[in-house]
Amino acid sequence: MRISVLLFFLLALLNNSCSKKTSYSAIKRDYNQKKDYANVFWDKEYTLFDLSTDEPILPVKKHDKFIYEIYYSSNEDPNPYYGDFTKEQLERLLFYKFKNKKNCLIFCNAKKKKH
């Protein structure tokens, strides 16, 4: 009994560490573009990164589709806006993109102080 329990935990640990390696290798950055340009003109072949924190923004599965739940803003209208987008929709959204409202507000508040 003890050996089978130990074997189970070892297999679970091995499976967990392998899955983390797979997800980490799935992150892909476009090093040919500046970070702000790559964020606004995002190409779905690459990972989307938060403009304020440079954290990866990954989609979540909703109703059998992968959806990006993001906040977005612009220089012209520095206010936070929320939206759910598919990869195709997000590629056409020419705004700065953020992982959450807090990160979006960092950008918005900095822009408002300049004006």
Three-state helix/strand/coil letters over 38-76: HHHCCCCCCCEECCCCCCEECCEEECCEEEEEEEEECCC
Helices and strands (H, E) in the chain, number of each type: 4, 6
pLDDT in tens, 12-52: 555 544 443 334 448 999 999 999 999 999 999 999 999 99
* 3-state SS assignment for residue 14: helix
The pLDDT, as a whole number, for residue 20 is 37
Alpha-carbon dihedral of residues 94, 67, 58, 23, nearest 10 degrees?
-140
Which token pair is 77?
């209208």
68 pLDDT higher than 90: yes
The C-alpha atoms of residue 58 and residue 96 are separated, in whole angstroms, by 16
pLDDT band at 54 (very low <50, low <70, confident <90, very high): very high
Lowest-confidence pick of 6-10, 75-79, 89-93: 6-10
6 pLDDT higher than 60: no
Contact at 8 Å (CB) between 36 and 96? yes
